[in-house]
Every structure is written in structure tokens, then in C-alpha cells.
Amino acid sequence: MTKCIGIISYLPNDSKVRAARLEKLNALISRCDSLFGLPIIIIAQNWKTVKLARTANSKLIIYKYDNALTITGARRELRKKFLELKYDYLIMLDDDIVLMGDKLGAARYLQEIDNHPRMFGTFKQLTLQLFAISREVYQWIDFPDGTPEHGDFFEDMWLIMALKKKYPDRYFAFTRGGLDPNANAANDSNSTWYFRQFNKHHIGDNTRAMIKEL
């Protein structure tokens, strides 16, 4: 079963934030290369000239976009490219994730995908960090209009809840252990979209209301 990793990445113009986020991205690429050795698809927004970490085992497949696509737009584009490339399974990560773990944990994670063909699996609650989805299932669903940057809905929460509601027989949960994708979304000083301008509880309520209408 062929697998790939998909990362959405936006680098802002602010030099300090840009450097910090690029450092995290390069660390993530290196960890993915070391732990998984899988092809890595990157939706690269506003990159311009970027120096990436070298990979020994992972092929980098980079699609560049001059401007921000929005978070939901980038998710849509990653979905589109994944389906075009015809891999069997997509593993998702964001560019600001600190991926902890060892090769044994990574091997167990990949084996769980092999044990669940043509399905989708959650790893860490309602986030897309190490979320995995098969080509077959991802052909059946796409993101609605709206984006977190405008306070519309959480696209990661929406996707997982929508999939569970529409295709419950295709769902599995990864056994946690050996890997940990760490993030600091609520208090990230280098966030590219969240500056406490929204009430996240309201966005969550909007997301759940959208799911009820499916």
C-alpha cells in the first residue's frame, strides 16, 4: 500500500515569524524523513526563496503558490494533488508541528494503516496531526466554503466529524504511543492566523452546527 505525507505550509512576510516557522518546517521534514522515509507533498504558500532541509529517504513534492490560499483552500489543494498522484493513503501534518517519537512507533503507526485499507484514522482528537485517510474515502468528501481565518469553522474538526457521520464503517482510531505530534495552537506567538481575534468556542459551535446539517 503506497503512502505519502501531506503538509500545508504558509510563510508570512514578517522576517522573524517567517524564520521561526521555516525552522520548525525543516525540523519536521527531517523527522518525517528519519521516521517514515515516505514521499512528502507540501502545499507551499508565499515561499519565494526557501532553503529546505536535505532528505535521505523522502522525496519532496512541492507545489508553490505565490499567495495564501487560506487554510481551507490549502487543505483542498492538498486533497487535489494527493488524488492526482494516486497514492493509496495520505498522512497529514501541519508545518508548525514538533513530531516526537522513534522508528518503532513510526513502524507501528504505518502497520496500523496497512491493517485498515480503504479507511480513515484519527490519531489526536479532532485534529489532522497524523490523521490518515485513504484515496478511496477522500474521493467522497471535500471541504465546504469558509475558513478558520474568517471565524467560519474549524476545517480539521469539520472533516473528521463529517467523515465519522457519513462513513462510520470506514473509521478507525490509531493506538497512541511511540509518536506524538506536538502543537501550541492556542498560544503560538508565531501563528499565521490566530491572534485571539475570535472566540474559538463560537467557531467550534459553528462547526458542530454545520455537521448537524449534513
What range defines the domain where residue 201 resides?
3-212
For residues 167-191, give the mean pLDDT: 82
- Note whether 36 and 44 are within 8 A (CB): no
Q: pLDDT for 45-88, tens place per residue?
A: 999 889 999 999 999 999 999 999 999 999 999 999 999 998 99
pLDDT band (50, 70, 90) for residue 202: confident
Question: How many Å apart are CA 130 and CA 149, to the nearest integer?
Answer: 22
CATH of the domain at 123: 3.90.550
d(CA 91, CA 133): 7
93-123 burial code (b ≥16 CB/10 A, e <16): bbbbbebebeeebbebbbebbeebeebbbbb
For strands 40-45 and 60-65, give the pairing: parallel
| Between 27 and 198, the higher pLDDT residue | 27
Place 164 in a pLDDT band, splitting at 50, 70 and 90: very high
Percent helix, strand, coil in the chain, to 5, is: 40, 20, 40
Residue 66 · residue 47 · CB < 8 Å: no
Give the pLDDT of residue 193. 47
Whether 190 shows a pLDDT value over 90: the answer reads: no
188 compared with 124, residue with greater pLDDT: 124
- The Cα–Cα gap between 49 and 86 comes to 29
Q: Residue 42: pLDDT band by 50, 70, 90 thresholds?
A: very high
18-22, 46-50, 198-202: least confident range = 198-202
Give pTM, 2 decimals.
0.93
How does residue 183 score in pLDDT terms, banded at 50, 70 and 90? confident
Query: How sure is the predictor about 168, in pLDDT bands with cuts at 50, 70 and 90?
Result: very high
Residues 6+ positions from 152 with CB-CB distance below 8 Å: 145, 146, 203, 206
pLDDT score of 198: 55
Q: What is the rounded average pLDDT of the residues 122-143?
A: 96
Closest CA to 204 of 135, 155, 168: 155
pLDDT at 189 over 70: no
* Residue in 151, 159, 17 with CA at minimum distance from that of residue 75: 159
Number of domains forming the structure of the chain: 1
Question: What single DSSP character describes residue 163?
Answer: H
Q: Which amino acid is at 69?
A: L
